[in-house]
């Protein structure tokens, strides 16, 4: 089967890497792809935000299945166009993708269907924001309504910070048009957990839980990013909590979307806060998480294509995925300055050395392959006093804020963390920054006498 994969980040590299392991994949195409994905897929050109263009491409390539990685094409209606042409695709329609495309829609949807989430108010302008800003006390959470590449959520610690952030967001200075409307939300204390499910519109399949690390610095300090690392470990959630989340949050979400005429098919990411009152929804995403996908794909021991086909064809109840025991950890190597301004075109070294460690895979996110000519000391000069210009071997250089996702397995979380950071030490580029505490919360949870929110919650009475 020929597969078309839309997207070009670390998540898509992980999906491409896993899809290439399927004996049933005849050819894998990616648009726009990235430098690392070129090892797994044939890179195609095109605008993934143009549904007509993508459907035309799928038809030209005779793709038997298309997988959508990022959220923007889904919100733009790529699935609707594919369905109109009877082209197989994994992902929700434009109407169902509103769960991520609009924070306001998502919060009001949860309110309509009794899904646990933080109290909130919606603000359409500075006047409403000024009146409501202090209604939940401080800290308070401010969310841009539209897509903001993981940067549309700000936790304001005091009134002055909240006023400044609100004014800048509504004026379009922080995340552009995405922030012209915003949600003011009560701050929830606890640990965040990512709960991912596949849905075919009728059946659901829960994947192992993961935990992302959104703040740019250790100990959850600094501004939010798209994600600085994640780990996958069954011990994140107890079986009892998993059941509560499925029955109290996931099923009501899928049932609610169906009742509103937008059945959800594809990948549903539920971002949870594990509070003393129980799991509450922070956000929905309508695709695999990034960087959560990287440790998920490293743990998946069976065929990814079969799971995606089942989601696309309504046969997810027959899926029986296999997961490797132990844990997996992904550490993001980012450019200095991210999520703000950062430099590009810094040569990257050590990828092969990192991947020489047992089980380690380095997924590319913001890289490009630089080729060209340069001065070669070994070449004979064309004339006395001149230097010959010879081809320079291709090299990977930085091209984004999140550059690489260094991902490692282990028989335990502690072993996976140690192996991931051993691999990080092999990687080098000017300005490399990474968090040094990815997975630490999981280790703390396992410590004798630990009382972590993800383990001690009791059923509501």
> Confidence band (pLDDT; 50, 70, 90) for 461?
very low
> Confidence band (pLDDT; 50, 70, 90) for 40?
very high
Give the torsion sign (CA, 232, 235, 236, 241).
positive
pLDDT of residue 185: 97
Last residue of a domain, one of 135, 166, 187: 187
Do 393 and 442 fall into the same domain? yes
Whether the pLDDT of residue 457 is over 80: the answer is: no
Whether the pLDDT of residue 52 is over 50: the answer is: yes
Residue 178 lies in a domain: yes
- pLDDT, one tens digit per residue, over 253-282 is 999 999 999 999 999 999 999 999 999 999
Residue 198 lies in a domain: no
Last residue of a domain, one of 156, 187, 218: 187
Residue 222 · residue 239 · CB < 8 Å: no
Please name which of 237, 199, 206 lies closest in space to residue 99, comparing C-alpha atoms.
199
Whether the pLDDT of residue 392 is over 70: the answer is: no
CATH of the domain at 419: 3.90.600.10
CATH of the domain at 144: 3.30.1490.20
> Confidence band (pLDDT; 50, 70, 90) for 149?
confident
- Helix 103-112 / helix 251-259 crossing angle, nearest 10 deg: 100
> Confidence band (pLDDT; 50, 70, 90) for 286?
very high
Do 66 and 141 fall into the same domain? no
Residue 219 lies in a domain: no
Whether the pLDDT of residue 460 is over 50: the answer is: no
Do 336 and 414 fall into the same domain? yes
Do 67 and 123 fall into the same domain? no
pLDDT of residue 394: 86
The DSSP bridge partners found for residue 6 are 31, 68
- pLDDT, one tens digit per residue, over 370-380 is 987 444 434 44
CA distances from 42 to 13, 30, 163, 355, 392 (A): 12, 6, 48, 22, 24
Last residue of a domain, one of 137, 159, 187: 187
Of the spans 135-149, 243-257, 374-388, which averages the highest pLDDT? 243-257
Residue 230 lies in a domain: no
pLDDT (average), residues 451-457: 37
Please name which of 449, 442, 418 lies closest in space to residue 236, comparing C-alpha atoms.
442
Q: How many domains, the chain?
A: 3
Whether the pLDDT of residue 150 is over 90: the answer is: no
CATH of the domain at 45: 3.40.50.20
The distance from CA 420 to its chain's CA centroid, rounded to whole angstroms, is 19
pLDDT of residue 384: 54
Residue 99 lies in a domain: no
Task: State the Cα–Cα distance between residues 385 and 68, nearest whole angstrom.
Answer: 55
Residue 123 · residue 181 · CB < 8 Å: yes
The residue range of the domain holding 178 is 119-187
Do 347 and 417 fall into the same domain? yes
Do 167 and 85 fall into the same domain? no
Mean residue pLDDT of the chain comes to: 93
Percent of the chain with pLDDT over 90: 88
Do 75 and 179 fall into the same domain? no
Do 85 and 125 fall into the same domain? no
Whether the pLDDT of residue 359 is over 80: the answer is: yes
Do 338 and 399 fall into the same domain? yes
The DSSP bridge partners found for residue 281 are 117, 272
- pLDDT, one tens digit per residue, over 108-142 is 999 999 999 999 999 999 999 989 999 999 999 99
Residue 456 lies in a domain: no
Residue 213 lies in a domain: no
pTM to 2 decimal places: 0.93
pLDDT (average), residues 426-455: 83
Burial 291-301 (b: 16+ CB within 10 A, else e): bbbbbbbbbbe
Do 352 and 396 fall into the same domain? yes
- pLDDT, one tens digit per residue, over 319-338 is 999 999 999 999 999 999 99
Residue 289 lies in a domain: no
Do 169 and 86 fall into the same domain? no
Do 409 and 353 fall into the same domain? yes
pLDDT of residue 458: 29
């Amino acid at each position: 089967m020929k597969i078309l994969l839309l997207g070009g980040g670390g998540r898509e590299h992980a999906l491409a890497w896993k899809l290439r392991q399927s004996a049933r994949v005849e050819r894998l195409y990616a648009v726009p792809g990235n430098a690392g994905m070129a090892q797994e897929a044939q890179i195609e050109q095109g605008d993934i935000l143009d549904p007509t263009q993508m459907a035309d491409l799928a038809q030209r390539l005779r793709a038997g299945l298309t997988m959508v990685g990022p959220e923007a094409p889904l919100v733009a209606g790529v699935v609707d166009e594919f369905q109109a042409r009877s082209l197989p695709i994994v992902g929700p329609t434009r109407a169902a993708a509103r769960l991520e495309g609009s924070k306001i829609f998502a919060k009001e949807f949860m309110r309509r269907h009794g899904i646990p989430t933080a109290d909130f108010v919606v603000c359409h302008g500075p006047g409403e924001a000024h009146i409501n800003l202090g209604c939940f006390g401080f800290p308070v959470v401010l969310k841009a309504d539209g897509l903001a590449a993981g940067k549309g959520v700000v936790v304001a610690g005091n009134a002055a910070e909240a006023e400044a952030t609100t004014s800048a967001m509504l004026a379009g200075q922080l995340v552009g048009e995405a922030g012209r409307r915003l949600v003011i939300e009560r701050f929830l204390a606890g640990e965040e957990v990512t709960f991912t499910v596949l849905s075919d519109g009728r059946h659901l399949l829960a994947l192992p839980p993961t935990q992302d690390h959104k703040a740019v610095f250790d100990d959850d300090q600094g501004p939010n990013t798209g994600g600085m690392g994640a780990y996958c470990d069954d011990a994140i959630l107890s079986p009892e909590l998993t059941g509560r989340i499925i029955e109290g949050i996931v099923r009501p979400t899928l049932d609610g979307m169906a009742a509103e005429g937008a059945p959800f098919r594809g990948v549903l990411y539920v971002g949870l806060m594990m509070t003393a009152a129980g799991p509450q929804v922070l956000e929905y995403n309508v695709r695999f998480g990034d960087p959560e996908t990287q440790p998920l794909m490293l743990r998946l021991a069976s065929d990814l294509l079969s799971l995606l086909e089942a989601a696309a064809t309504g046969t997810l109840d027959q899926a029986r995925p296999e997961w490797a025991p132990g844990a997996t950890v992904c550490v993001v190597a980012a450019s200095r300055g991210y999520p703000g301004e950062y430099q590009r075109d810094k040569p990257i070294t050590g990828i092969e050395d990192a991947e020489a460690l047992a089980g380690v895979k380095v997924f590319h996110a913001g890289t490009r392959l630089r080729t060209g000519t340069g001065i070669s000391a070994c070449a004979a000069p064309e004339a006395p006093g001149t230097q010959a210009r010879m081809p320079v071997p291709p090299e990977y250089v930085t091209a984004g804020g999140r550059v690489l996702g260094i991902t490692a397995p282990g028989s335990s979380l502690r072993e996976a963390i140690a192996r991931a950071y051993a691999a990080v030490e092999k990687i080098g580029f000017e300005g490399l920054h990474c968090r040094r505490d990815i997975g630490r919360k999981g280790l703390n949870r396992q410590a004798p006498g630990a009382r972590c929110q993800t383990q001690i919650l009791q059923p509501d009475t």
